[in-house]
Structure 1
Amino acid sequence: MNKSELVAAMAAKAEISKKDAEKALKAFEDVVMEELQAGGKIQLVGFGTFEVTERKARVGRNPKTNEEMSIPGGKAPKFKAGKALKDVVKGE
């Protein structure tokens, strides 16, 4: 499912226009990005948690030359699925 299909599905499910559904999705994306940029996290009980994780610097290998190279640490977004979402995917 791509973004336009998601907007159409949201509009049908909520019985709103596609334009309103697109605004709602854009607002959700903006709020999540702003919160993660500020170092916070968003918990949606049953669905999951969006948060930022710290990755340590490490040594990797270039697969072509087998030469060691350093990979810098940094921050990365992470999503952890909640129990209800996991159960739906499992078919329970």
Structure 2
Amino acid sequence: MTFSTELFRPHIGSYFDIYFDNQQQLRLLLQSVDDHGRSGQGYYSFSLMFFCDGEYQLVQDTYPLQHPVLGELNIFLVPIARKDQGICYQASFTLKVG
């Protein structure tokens, strides 16, 4: 599966879940898919913005996100802001094209 804006855009507004060894679950809502376009060096970049209710903040790391349609995806998440009683996370991608 190749990550792209086309893969994620239909799933804006859906949840991606992280399950931990202690049976805890964290739900991340995909809020936006931002296309950053192509560079002159043959790369394409985009980012995903997630929101999670609550106070618990994940550290910057790669997590196995479960989605009912996409299955399990290992995605590197960075906490970027605390707002509206929760935490915002960003996943950024830069892919070689062509």
Range class of TM-score, shorter chain: under 0.3
Higher fraction of strand? 2
Normalised by the size of structure 2, how large is the TM-score?
A: 0.25
Normalised by the size of structure 1, how large is the TM-score?
A: 0.26
Higher fraction of helix? 1
